[in-house]
């Protein structure tokens, strides 16, 4: 991973000069290291002579899961591979971490994969529990990830599907035709991250006002806030406070 600069912008968010990290074929499984991962007291560039400021915390890389995955994960993968001929093309990566199975899906294939996941008798993921976005700014060229959590009520299983798109072309097919419940959740992901779900019946903002500019939960969108005076002292907004990190 090339090193992103740690210089915080106005929002206190570290923004890399160039998108670093994984290539577009392998989606990142980690967000970029936060400033908390380096140093001990957060005093970069100051006269720290203790040496603690140079400590770097190593993060264990998550490796692509090796067979057997354990539990029902193998069955799910085999069933999907059998029912979906384009499996090799659509699935970019399989990750098993903390007892959860994640299939990284090529974004243009997501609706097809969901269709198979729902309809195949050996899979039967009838319920789409959750759709959410995560912004991996600085760790991935395709920084916007959409995370679908599918639940099989028949087999009592859960699987996570993850699709990554870039901020320049944040398009992927909507799964509302397969899971009508994704309607509002995709609208929320659009509202908060600017991810465009093609084929969604009514992709408008849902939580923010209609005329809002920007997508608030992107990592380069500052938290904002105003300083408050309390008993004579000025308390800065949360993203400007001393972080002790």
How many residues make contact with another protein (CB under 8 A)?
55
Could you tell me if 198 and 172 are in contact, meaning their C-beta atoms sit under 8 angstroms apart? yes
Least distance to another protein, CB of residue 86, Å: 25
DSSP 36-68: GGB-SS--TTS---SSGGG-B---PPPPPPPSP
Q: By CB under 8 A, which span of 18-26, 78-86, 108-116, 237-245 interacts with another protein?
A: 237-245
Regarding 120 and contact with another protein (CB under 8 A), the answer is no
| Smaller CB separation from another protein, 89 or 97 | 97
The whole-angstrom separation of Cα 29 and Cα 103 is 11
Could you tell me if 119 and 152 are in contact, meaning their C-beta atoms sit under 8 angstroms apart? no
The mark string for 39-78 relative to another protein (x by CB under 8 A, - otherwise) is: ------------------x-xx-x----------------
Instruction: Quickly list H helices, the chain.
Output: 73-83, 87-90, 110-119, 182-193
Could you tell me if 95 and 102 are in contact, meaning their C-beta atoms sit under 8 angstroms apart? yes
Least distance to another protein, CB of residue 56, Å: 11
Q: Which residues bind another protein (CB under 8 A)?
A: 12, 29-37, 57, 59-60, 62, 97-98, 100, 102, 126-130, 132-135, 147, 149, 151, 153, 156, 158, 160, 179-185, 188, 192, 205-209, 216-217, 223, 238-239, 244-245
């Amino acid at each position: 991973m090339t090193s992103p600069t740690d210089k915080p912008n106005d929002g206190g968010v570290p923004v890399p000069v160039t998108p670093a990290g994984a290539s577009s074929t392998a989606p990142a499984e980690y967000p970029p290291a936060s400033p908390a991962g380096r140093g001990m007291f957060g005093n970069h560039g100051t006269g720290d002579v203790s040496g603690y400021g140079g400590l770097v915390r190593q993060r264990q890389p998550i490796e692509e899961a090796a067979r057997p995955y354990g539990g029902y994960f193998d069955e799910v993968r085999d069933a999907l591979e059998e029912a979906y001929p384009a499996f090799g093309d659509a699935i970019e990566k399989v990750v098993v971490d903390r007892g959860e199975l994640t299939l990284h899906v090529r974004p243009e294939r997501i609706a097809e994969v969901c269709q198979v996941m729902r309809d195949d008798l050996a899979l039967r993921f009838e319920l789409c529990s959750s759709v959410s976005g995560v912004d991996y700014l600085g760790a991935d060229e395709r920084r916007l990830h959409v995370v679908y959590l599918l639940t099989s009520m028949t087999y009592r299983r859960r699987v996570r599907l993850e699709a990554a798109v870039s901020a320049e072309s944040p398009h992927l097919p909507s799964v509302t035709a397969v899971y009508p419940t994704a309607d509002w959740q995709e609208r929320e992901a659009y509202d908060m991250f600017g991810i465009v779900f093609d084929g969604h019946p009514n992709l408008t903002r849902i939580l923010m006002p209609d005329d809002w500019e920007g997508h608030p939960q992107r990592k380069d969108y500052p938290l904002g806030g105003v300083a408050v005076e309390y008993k004579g002292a000025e308390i800065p907004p949360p993203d400007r406070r001393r972080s002790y990190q």
